[in-house]
Amino acid sequence: MPVHAREKKESNHEDMEVDFPEQDGSSTDEEDTVSSSVSEDGDTSEMDDEDCERRRMECLDEMTTLEKQFTDLKEQLYKERLSQVDVKLQEVMAGCAQEYLEPLANLQENMQIRTKVAGIYRELCVESVKNKYECEIQAACQHWESEKLLLLDTVQSELEEKIRRLEEDRHSIDITSELWNDGLQTRNKNKKKDPLYPDLDILEDWTAIRKAMASLAPHRGKPERPHHVARWEDGRLFYDSQWYCRGQSICINRKDEHPARRQDREQ
Residue 145 amino acid letter: E
Residue 130, pLDDT score: 95
Does residue 71 sit in the same domain as residue 150?
A: no
Q: Are 77 and 18 found together in one domain?
A: yes
Residue 118 lies in a domain: no
- How many structural domains comprise the chain? 2
Q: Which residue has the higher pLDDT, 145 or 44?
A: 145
208 neighbors 240 (Cβ within 8 angstroms): no
Which stretch of DSSP H or E encloses residue 232? strand 230-233
> Taking the model in full, what pTM does it have?
0.33
Q: Is residue 107 part of a domain?
A: no
Asked, for residue 181, whether it belongs to a domain, the answer is yes
Same domain, 199 and 256: yes
Residues 6, 138 within the same domain:
no
What residues make up the domain containing 85?
A: 2-96
pLDDT in tens, 200-238: 666 666 677 766 666 665 544 444 454 555 666 666 667
Helix (H, G, I), strand (E, B) or coil at 252: coil
- Write out the H or E segment, with its range, that includes residue 25: helix 2-33
> Does 261 lie in the same domain as 129?
yes
144 in the same domain as 63? no
For 74-114, what is each residue's pLDDT tens digit? 999 999 999 988 888 888 788 787 888 888 899 999 999 99
Same domain, 165 and 34: no
Does 44 share its domain with 162?
Answer: no
The answer on 159 and 81 residing in a single domain is no
Give the residue from 78, 96, 114 where a domain finishes: 96
Q: What burial class does residue 247 get, using C-beta atoms within 10 Å of its C-beta: 0-12 exposed, 13-18 middle, 19+ buried?
A: exposed
How many other C-beta atoms are found inside a 10 Å radius of the C-beta of residue 265? Answer: 16
